[in-house]
Amino acid sequence: MATLNGTLTASPATGATFDPALPTYKDHVRLALGDTDVATPLLVDSTIDAKLGLFSYSEAVAQLAEALISQFAQKPSDYTDKNGVSIKWSERVKAWRELVLNCRASAVETPSAVRPAAKGICIGLLTAPDKTTFRSD
């Protein structure tokens, strides 16, 4: 966390993003987990990106769902906020358990039409194959 004039602000590493056009694996993961409200995310982008960097898509989804199960199984089953919005965590936990089983049974396919998440800085893009030849000596 960073501070600006004494006020806490979220750093980019703790933020959450979601694009309903689903251009990245991260967006697909958020949709699969039901974590599409970036104002109150269940997971931060860096956690999702870390799992996607270490595991296959379906295993990353399964492990993230297991983490949410562990976290929210400890909370009261029903929750209503001050604005009257009600959540039944027990229903979400049940859905996440089913998602884990489906992922591990290979019933969840890796999305095919996505662009990889940006890593670092991109100076330029290759528009044709690199046909550079190097000296053999």
Q: Who contacts 107 (Cβ-Cβ below 8 Å, separation ≥6)? A: none
Tens of pLDDT along the chain (137 residues)? 333 344 333 444 458 999 999 999 999 999 999 999 999 899 999 999 999 999 999 999 999 999 999 998 887 777 788 888 787 788 899 999 999 999 999 999 999 867 655 554 444 455 556 566 666 66
- Name all contacts of 47-56 with Cβ < 8 Å and 24+ positions apart: 49/117, 52/25, 52/26, 52/117, 56/110
Instruction: Please tell me what DSSP assigns to residue 2.
Output: E
**pTM of this structure:** 0.69
> What is the DSSP code (8-state) at residue 120?
S
Task: Give the model's pLDDT for residue 73.
Answer: 83
Phi, psi of 111 (to 5 degrees): -60, 140
